[in-house]
Amino acid sequence: MLLDHKKIAIIGGGPGGLTLARLLQRKGVDVKVYERDLNREVRVQGATLDLHFESGLKAIKKAGLMDVFKENYRPGADKGRILDQHANIIYDEHMESSPQDFDNEHFRPEIDRGSLRNILLDSLQPDTVAWDSQFKTMSQIDGVWKLEFKNGTTATADIVIGADGGNSKIRPFVTSIKTFYSGVTIIQGNIPDSETTVPRIHQLLKGGKIYVHHDGKYLHLSSKGDGSLDFYISCKKDENWIPNSGIDFSNRLQILEWFRKEFMGWDNIWLELIENVSLPVLLRPQYCIPFDQSWEAQSNITLLGDAAHLMPPSGEGVNLAMLDTLELSEYLTDDYFKDIQTAIATYEEKMQARGTKEAQESMEMVEWMHAEDAQDKLLEMFTRG
C-alpha cells in the first residue's frame, strides 16, 4: 500500500478531517488529526446538516458508521416552511409525505453538526486527535514535514492534508490562488431553549426549517436537537461593511437598531430573534474560489473541503468535503497508482472539477436568493420537487 510506514497529519477536526481519519484508520494507516479547539466540548457546533446519498451518506457507509448515524439523525428536521416577511406560511413541507428510506437517493436525512462530530470522534482510535493544536507553520526537512503549533509543540509527518476550512493555513503551501468575495455577508446566531424563549417562532419552525426571502434579503432558521435554534441573516453588502458599519455586533441594542432599519416592514416577530440571541453573533463574509483554479499536484500535501473549494452555502459544502475524503482515502490506499503524487493528482483533478461546478452553482444561488422574486423561485423549486 502506498501509505505503508507513512505518517499522515490532518489539519482540522471538522467533518471532513475526522471522516478521512476514520477511513484511513480502517485501512491501518498511521494518522493524526490536529485541531485548534481546546477540547471536544469547548465550542458549540453550528446548525443541522443534510447528508446526501451520493456523497455524505456514501462516506458514512464506507466508514462503517451507518447504524450509529441512524440512531442520531433527526427525522422530520429536513422539512421546511416558506414564510413571507409577515410570518404567513406560503408553503409547508410538513403537509407532504417524504421518503425516510436510506436506500432512496432523494432522502437527505438531517443531523446536528455536534452529533455528527461526536459520531466521528467516537469512531477513532484513542488519542487520534491532538486538541489545542492550532497550526502555526511547517517546513520540509529531507522530504518530511515538520509542523509547528501555537501551543509550542511540534510534530512530523510524511503527508499533510489540509482540512482546516475556508481560512485554511495549509492552502498557501499548496496554491497561491486566492478566493474572492461573493458579495454576501451572513450574520449567524443561536437562541437556546427556543420553545420557552421564542415560543411563536418555535411553533412556526415545527422542528424543521424556515425560509424567508424578501426585499433582497434572506432569513433562514433551523431547529436543533438540543432545543435551540440557529438563524442566518444573509444580505448583499460591501466586503468591508462590517468594520465600516460602526455597529458593535456584541451590543444587543445596536444590533436591534440595525435590524429594525434593515428589515423595515417585516413583522415584529423577527425582532424576537435579536432580542434573545446569545451574544456575540457570528459575522461571516462569504468567499468563493475562482472558477478556473488549478494547481500542480505535490507528492506529500493536499487539501479537502472548504480549504480546497470554498463557496457560499449551497447545501453541498459538507457533502463535498465527505466525498473528498472518500475518494482521497481510496486513492491513497489503492495499489493501482504507481506513487503518492499520481494518486493525489488524480484525486485533485476530480475534486477541483466538482468543486468548480458547485461553486458556480452556489454563486448563481447567491444571485437568485437575494433577488426580488426569490420567494417565487423558491416556491417553484419546492412545488416541482
- Could you tell me the pTM of the whole model? 0.93
User: Which pLDDT score is estimated for 276?
Assistant: 97
User: Which pLDDT score is estimated for 383?
Assistant: 82
Backbone angles phi, psi at 191, to 5 degrees: -120, 115
Mean pLDDT of all residues in 66-75: 94
Does residue 339 have a known ligand-binding role? no
Q: What is the DSSP letter of 100?
A: -
Residue 30 near residue 181, CB atoms below 8 Å: no
pLDDT in tens, 125-135: 999 999 999 99
> Which helix (H) or strand (E) segment is 136 a member of?
strand 135-141
260 pLDDT exceeds 80? yes
Place 384 in a pLDDT band, splitting at 50, 70 and 90.
confident
User: Which pLDDT score is estimated for 105?
Assistant: 80
User: Which pLDDT score is estimated for 72?
Assistant: 94
CATH, domain 7-73+119-178+290-369, list 3.40.640.10, 3.50.50.60, 3.40.50.300, 3.40.50.720: 3.50.50.60
The least confident of 133-147, 162-176, 289-303, 371-385 is 371-385
- Residues 6+ away with beta carbon under 8 Å from 376: none
382 pLDDT exceeds 90? no
User: Which pLDDT score is estimated for 192?
Assistant: 96
Query: Which single residue is written with the C-alpha cell 431547529?
Result: 223
**Beta bridge partners of residue 144, listed in sequence order:** 141
Please give the grid coordinates belonging to residue 131: 486538541
CATH number of the domain at 182-288, please? 3.30.9.30
**Beta bridge partners of residue 48, listed in sequence order:** 112
Classify the phi-psi angles of 345: left when phi > 0, otherwise alpha if psi is within -120 to 50, otherwise beta.
alpha
- Crossing angle, helix 340-369 and helix 374-383, to 10 degrees? 120
Does residue 74 have a known ligand-binding role? no
Does residue 164 have a known ligand-binding role? no
Q: What is the DSSP letter of 268?
A: G
Percentage of the chain beyond pLDDT 70 is 98
- Residues 306, 284: Cα–Cα separation, whole Å: 14
- Residues 71, 7: Cα–Cα separation, whole Å: 33
Q: Determine whether 246 is exposed, middle or buried from the number of CB atoms within 10 Å of its CB (0-12, 13-18, 19+).
A: exposed
Q: Please list the residue range(s) of the chain that carry CATH number 3.50.50.60.
A: 7-73+119-178+290-369
Q: Sign of dihedral through CA atoms 144, 15, 326, 65?
A: positive
Percentage of the chain beyond pLDDT 90 is 81
Does residue 306 have a known ligand-binding role? yes
pLDDT in tens, 33-56: 999 999 888 766 667 889 998 999
Convert 185-243 into a string of H (helix), E (strand) and C (coil). EEEEEEECCHHHHCHHHHHHHCCCEEEEEECCEEEEEEECCCCCEEEEEEEECCCCHHH
Residue 54 near residue 105, CB atoms below 8 Å: yes
- Crossing angle, helix 340-369 and helix 317-332, to 10 degrees? 170
- Residues 166, 176: Cα–Cα separation, whole Å: 14
Q: What is the mean pLDDT of the chain?
A: 93
- Residues 179, 101: Cα–Cα separation, whole Å: 38
Range picked from 95-109, 148-162, 314-328, 371-385 for highest mean pLDDT: 148-162
Q: Are strands 282-288 and 180-191 parallel, antiparallel or unpaired?
A: antiparallel
User: Which pLDDT score is estimated for 336?
Assistant: 86
User: Which pLDDT score is estimated for 95?
Assistant: 80
Q: Please list the residue range(s) of the chain that carry CATH number 3.30.9.30.
A: 182-288
